[in-house]
Amino acid sequence: MKKIVVLSYGLGNVRSVGNALRAIGANADVSHDEHSIMQADGLIIPGVGAFPHGMANLVESGLVGVIRKYIDSGRPVLGICLGMQLLFDKGTEFVPTDGLGLIAGSVDIIPVSPEMGRLPHIAWSTICPTEQGRQKMFAGLTDSEMRFYFVHSYAATGVRSDNISATVSYLGNNIVAAVQSGNVWGTQFHPEKSGPSGLYFLNNFISNC
């Protein structure tokens, strides 16, 4: 049984992610202990909330170095929602804040005027995978199954096209829905809250671990 550590850093729906992993037969351990993390077959960085708060918690709990060390080991890492956003160079929510700098890009507010529509983008949206996404992260899902739950007001921008695995359209904006850079995966949507398609996606991640 694959052992996956769900990183707990004082933010996020760690229980939900753990429950989803257990539902697909993984051994999920919610932890911030370096030893447990380094023993894991895969690492998930969950997270909901604001960018500066998330980054501050990672720094204060000494987890930035642990995440880097884990990634250097070549094992798979998945960032979910804020966990994905923190992978980028910086975020501009409330105050400009440096991120983990693992994938090139910035996390900025989705440009939506009140006449156009609403923020946060809270919706089940059908994503559009890139060729790379179709082969790897979303392999095995049909087009109609690529419907995932999003809840966010900020999104990654300036991302290199070879790092983009899927996009989603919201009010005329083409938003980055999933990224991949080597062994590092990220999703703006919440697979743990996206029903059977989300569980299928998580299973793809685990199979990779």
Partner 1 sequence: MRVIARLDVKNQFVIKGIHLEGLRKVGDPNQLAKAYYEAGIDEIVFIDAVASLYNRNNLFSVIQKASEEVFVPITIGGGLRSLSDVEQALDAGADKVALNTAAIREPGLIEKVAKQYGSQCVVASVQAKRTANGWEAYMETGRERTGVQVLDWVRRLQDLGAGELLLTSVDQEGTKSGFDVPLVQAVNNAVSIPVIVSGGYGQPKHIAELLEVTEPSGLCFASVLHYKTATVDELRQNIALARASGIK
SS3 string, 35-89, reads HHHHHCCEEEECCCCCHHHHHHHHHHCCHHHHHHHHHHCCCCEEEECHHHHCCEE
Minimum separation from the CB atom of position 121 to partner 1 (A): 9
Q: Which of the residues 26 through 85 are near partner 1 (CB under 8 A)?
A: 48-50
Contacts of 102 by beta carbon, 8 Å cutoff, 6+ apart:
68, 71, 87, 88, 181, 184
Minimum separation from the CB atom of position 117 to partner 1 (A): 8
Dihedral sign computed on CA atoms, order 51, 53, 59, 62: negative
Minimum separation from the CB atom of position 118 to partner 1 (A): 5
Question: Binding residues for partner 1, how many (CB under 8 A)?
Answer: 29
- Specify the stretch interacting with partner 1 by CB under 8 A; choose among 31-39, 83-91, 171-179, 188-196: 188-196
Q: Which is nearer to partner 1, 65 or 120 (CB)?
A: 120
192 catalytic per annotation: yes
Tell me the two tokens of residue 54: 């998330």
Q: Which is nearer to partner 1, 30 or 139 (CB)?
A: 30
Fill in the per-residue mask, 1 to 20: x = in contact with partner 1 (CB under 8 A), - = not in contact.
------------x-xx--xx
81 catalytic per annotation: yes
Q: Which is nearer to partner 1, 47 or 70 (CB)?
A: 47
- Specify the stretch interacting with partner 1 by CB under 8 A; choose among 69-77, 103-111, 117-125, 176-184: 117-125
120 binds partner 1 (CB under 8 A): yes
209 catalytic per annotation: no
Dihedral sign computed on CA atoms, order 198, 203, 208, 209: positive
How many CA atoms, within 13 angstroms, populate the side-chain half-sphere of residue 91?
24
Q: How many CB atoms lie within 10 A of CB 98?
A: 14
Binding residue for partner 1 (CB under 8 A) from 194, 201, 205, 206?
194
Residue in 125, 112, 94, 111 with CA at minimum distance from that of residue 187 = 125
The C-alpha angle with vertex 88 and arms to 189 and 56, in degrees rounded to 5, equals 95
Dihedral sign computed on CA atoms, order 120, 126, 130, 132: positive
Per CB under 8 A, residues contacting partner 1 are 13, 15-16, 19-20, 22-23, 48-50, 114, 118-120, 122-124, 149, 151-153, 190, 192-196, 198-199
Write out the catalytic residue numbers: 81, 190, 192
